[in-house]
Amino acid sequence: MKIGFIGLGIMGKPMAKNLLKAGYELLVYRNNRAANELVEAGATSADIPEIGGSCDLVLTMLPNSPQVKEVMLGETGVAKYMKEGSIYVDMSSINPVASKEIAAALAEKKIEMLDAPVSGGDPKAIDGTLSFMVGGKQEIFDKCEPILKAMGSSVVRCGEVGAGNTTKLANQIIVACNIQALSEALTLAQKAGVDPQLVFAAIRGGLAGSTVMDAKAPMILSGNDKPGFKIDLHIKDLNNALDCAHSVGSPVPMTAQVQEVFQWMHNHDGGQKDHSAIAQYYEFLTGIELGRE
């Protein structure tokens, strides 16, 4: 199967490399330095008409709904060149309403679609252990599952198109609120005179422990805000979550609150930092440096 891949950013580049390692024939959009790196690893550089016209499967990993719509459905978009019966899998994290709109437009061209956003950040993208949350027809999922498993350790079909991104929004709410709670708790510990490093060691194996805690507490306590997942991207995801929640009438007060803290970080030059840097909001309020005094 010939696969086209568009979107070679922090996540997309290592995901594409894992497809090459698994032996898939890969065409990458020739638009940046990352594409050259993939070519050196065995991919073929191609333009949009070639990707659309020659690939059985097209994958995208893009920032948000407008970019996905433009790349797929724009005047010179990929869908213009795709063959009947080909498959499109969007691995971007976008509004599920947009996923359904794109799927409907592609269905008119007899092109199948899955929405398959991921969770795990760049470390899991690199080692091929991402979690995929997938929406779409069962038979199309069955065809694509082995390909997704070349990039992830968990691939779960959650329902029809749109269900993948709805699940991803739920994931992003939980991750954001978890990081904020972790930041508040470690701040409380240090303000009360208890070493937050020891608090982390003591509670990580109990009920409060989580994958988020294990990944983000060490970053918070060392002051490492190098982005694995940027605050600005999490703002985008929570905006989509709020829009979706408002449209279906679901209350999301915790999401709204953590979004305000993320927005404060963005407004104070923190948008390009890792989302664990939300702890710096509490450091600003208290004047302490968590775990580093």
- 100 catalytic, yes or no? no
From 168, 216, 230, 273, active-site residue: 168
Query: Measured on CA atoms in the order 15, 147, 51, 108, is the torsion positive or negative?
Result: negative
- What amino acid positions are annotated as catalytic residues? 168
